[in-house]
Amino acid sequence: MQIIDISKPTTPTIKGNYHTSGSTLGVQIIGNYAYLADFYLGLQIIDISNPSKPTIKGNYRTSGISVDVQILF
């Protein structure tokens, strides 16, 4: 996962990245968290409050593959 600053659309810049050991297929951002559907690894929850240092906050292993994510409150 890469965090890209697009505040200047003509010159986007990479602000940070987080490497998972899986294959991220879906992402949803809510507030300071990125929720990743990470194929065989399930749901990964990444804190992106500091874009230059995203950190994992939790995960949930699904019983099958994860290809998309939708968070509901």
Q: Where are the domains of the chain?
A: 2-60
Q: What is the pLDDT of residue 10?
A: 97
Cα 16 to chain centroid, rounded: 11
* Residue among 9, 54, 14, 12 nearest 36 (CA): 54
What are the residues facing 44 on neighbouring strands? Answer: 36, 59
- Yes or no: say if 48 and 29 are a contact pair by the CB < 8 Å rule: yes
25-65 confidence digits (pLDDT tens) = 999 999 999 999 999 889 999 999 999 999 999 999 998 88
pTM: 0.87
